[in-house]
Amino acid sequence: MAALAVGSAAPAAAQEYQPVDVVHTERVQAGPYELTVGFSTWPVRAMQSLDFTFSPDGGITGKSGTLTVIGPDGAEGFTAPLARHPRQRDTWGLDIQALEKEGSWTFRFDLDGPEGPGTGELRDLVVLEQPGPPMVLSWSISTIPLLGLGVFLAVALLRDRSRRVLGEARL
C-alpha cells in the first residue's frame, strides 16, 4: 500500500524564483571597489521586510566580504558574510530582511578581492516609521479570536458540568 502511494505521487515541480525587483539603488566606494546597493522597496520602513542586493562592479567572482549593519543608536545590529542572494545568484544580498526601528542606519562593507581589501559605508540610510497600526494594537486585535475560543470553551464546560450535576440529582 505504501509503495503504491509513493509510486503514484507526482514529482514536485521546481519553482523558479523571480529575480529581485530593485526599485532604488545607492553607490558605495569600498576601497578600490564600487558597490551598488539595491532595495526592493523604497522608502525603507521599520519592520517591513524587503530584499537588499549588493553588486560590486565586475561581479562577485573572486571577491568576498562582510556586511555590518549599524542601527540608529550606534549599536551594531549584526555582522554577516556577504553571501549570494537566494533569488539573484549573480550578486550578494539579503532576502526578506527587516530593519527593526526607524532612524538613520549605516551599512559597512569590508571587501577583499584581487585589488586588495577595502572598506566603505552607506551612511544615513533613513528608515521611516513602521507602516500600519502600532504593533501592540496589531497583537491585541489578533488575540480576539483566541479570547473568543476561551470564552466558548469555558461556557461549554460549565454547561456540561451543570448537566452532569442535574443528571445525578434526578437519580
pLDDT digits (tens, 9 = 90+) for 120-154: 999 999 999 988 777 777 778 888 888 888 888 98
pTM higher than 0.75: no
Name the DSSP class of 43.
S
Q: Is the C-alpha dihedral spanning 135, 95, 16, 54 positive or negative?
A: positive
Query: Do 78 and 97 contact (CB within 8 A), yes or no?
Result: no
Question: C-alpha distances in angstroms, 153 versus 144, 159, 160?
Answer: 14, 10, 10
Query: Do 100 and 9 contact (CB within 8 A), yes or no?
Result: no
Query: Do 66 and 79 contact (CB within 8 A), yes or no?
Result: yes
Strand blocks (E) in the chain? 24-30, 33-39, 44-45, 50-56, 64-70, 76-81, 84-85, 88-97, 103-113, 116-128
Judged against a pLDDT cut of 70, whether residue 93 lies above it is answered with yes
Instruction: Supply the pLDDT for residue 3.
Output: 54
Binning pLDDT at 50, 70 and 90, where does residue 105 land?
very high
Report the chain's mean pLDDT, rounded to a whole number.
86
Instruction: Supply the pLDDT for residue 168.
Output: 63
Question: Could you tell me which of 122, 113, 126 has the C-alpha nearest to residue 67?
Answer: 122
Query: Do 116 and 33 contact (CB within 8 A), yes or no?
Result: no
pLDDT digits (tens, 9 = 90+) for 5-42: 555 555 545 556 678 899 999 999 999 999 999 999 99
